[in-house]
Amino acid sequence: QMIAVGKALQTVLDTRLRSGREMLAELLNAGEIRKLDSLIGKSAKEGKLDMSFWTVLGMNMKDAAMNEGDGSGSTLSPTLAAGEGQEA
């Protein structure tokens, strides 16, 4: 039973983190500040800026700080890339 509960919990967490990655990717691809502002307002009203979004944002900020100045030339953080099935 504990294995089944663990698998169910993992599925829920994966789904939520995926939605957080998708929201962050959408915001990062906004292109211009007015569009970004509009997307943030709309997402907040729809409740999309939930804990999963903030978790993914925090992970990406940590990745960016760790990779700053490493010369990798990557424009996509490892956390966001993992969600998109890419290598950073």
Displacement of CA 55 from its chain's centroid (Å): 7
Taking 50 as the threshold, does the pLDDT of residue 88 lie above it? no
Encoding tokens for residue 73?
A: 């030339």
pLDDT in tens, 16-65: 889 889 999 999 899 898 999 999 999 999 998 998 899 989 988 888 88
> Residue 1: its pLDDT value, please?
85
Calpha distance 41→34 (Å, rounded): 11
Name the residue among 63, 57, 23 with its Cα closest to residue 40.
23
Enumerate the H helices of 1-88 as residue ranges: 2-28, 33-45, 51-67, 78-83
Average pLDDT on 80-85 reads 56
